[in-house]
Amino acid sequence: MFDLSEEVVFLTGAAGQIGESSVNALLKQGAKVVAVDLDMAALHEVAERNQWGKKGVIYFDLDIRNEDEVEKAFGKVLLHLAPHLSLS
């Protein structure tokens, strides 16, 4: 289909059915995925079922309505991915 191996995708609502399917589809295309949801218990269950941790998915709870939380989340993701990013 298409190659996303150089892309980082930040996906909200990842604990829902559409979110879960989206993460799995993005992984198949080679994307690095950050999966977030308000419901950490549900997100953890979905992540365990799909073995996202072994596939390199970064996942955590996040309320995207809270601007400060979103800024902190992007900072965490950048720190985590910094060794893998290339700036040209």
Burial of 85 (0-12, 13-18, 19+ CB in 10 A): exposed
The pLDDT, as a whole number, for residue 13 is 97
Those residues whose C-beta lies under 8 Å from the C-beta of residue 36, and which sit 6 or more positions away, are: 10, 11, 12, 14, 43, 59, 60, 61, 62, 64, 73
- Render pLDDT for 23-75 as a digit per residue (tens, 0 to 9): 999 999 999 999 999 999 999 999 999 999 999 999 999 999 999 999 999 99
Identify the structural domains of the chain with CATH numbers, from first to last. Answer: 8-84 (3.40.50.720)
Confidence band for 80, pLDDT divided at 50, 70 and 90? confident
Q: What is the pTM of this model?
A: 0.86
Alpha helices in the chain (DSSP H): 17-28, 40-50, 67-81
